[in-house]
Amino acid sequence: KNEVEQSPQNLTAQEGEFITINCSYSVGISALHWLQQHPGGGIVSLFMLSSGKKKHGRLIATINIQEKHSSLHITASHPRDSAVYICAVRSTGNQFYFGTGTSLTVIP
């Protein structure tokens, strides 16, 4: 069993749609990260969360520590949002665990 589970694995959306990617984890954490990997391979750190909600432009990340769940939302999706989104957690024991990623394709 993976310590971090993401859903869905693949997601196709029309431009302008509201998108939600989910992440559930089974360990106690000190922080949760959302990463974005573009088709070219580069990885960008989008958010680091330990509680509540963060917003950056059209991206919103939320975390519920009690439920061990985080969501990444994209409002007014755009083809340039097409990427793989990876959830990663740093456990309270300083171990790092990664989800397998959600591949998002936004169609014009």
Partner 1 sequence: DAGVIQSPRHEVTEMGQEVTLRCKPISGHNSLFWYRQTMMRGLELLIYFNNNVPIDDSGMPEDRFSAKMPNASFSTLKIQPSEPRDSAVYFCASSPGLGGYTFGSGTRLTVV
Q: Alpha carbon 102 to chain centroid distance?
A: 8
The residue (of 77 and 102) whose beta carbon lies closer to partner 1 is 102
Asked if 19 is part of the footprint of partner 1 (rule: CB under 8 A), the reply reads no
What residues have CB less than 8 Å from 57, skipping those under 6 apart?
none
**Ranges within 21-40 binding partner 1 (CB under 8 A):** 33, 35
**Residue 74 contacts residue 46 (beta carbons within 8 Å):** no
Asked if 88 is part of the footprint of partner 1 (rule: CB under 8 A), the reply reads yes
For 63, the enclosing helix (H) or strand (E) is: strand 59-64
Q: Which stretch binds partner 1 (CB under 8 A): 10-18, 44-52, 59-67, 72-80?
A: 44-52
Asked if 41 is part of the footprint of partner 1 (rule: CB under 8 A), the reply reads yes
Question: Total residues at the site for partner 1 (CB under 8 A)?
Answer: 19
C-alpha distance across the termini of the chain, in Å: 36
Asked if 57 is part of the footprint of partner 1 (rule: CB under 8 A), the reply reads no
Please count the residues of the chain: 108
Residues forming contacts to partner 1 in the complex (CB under 8 A) are 33, 35, 41-48, 86, 88, 94-96, 98-101
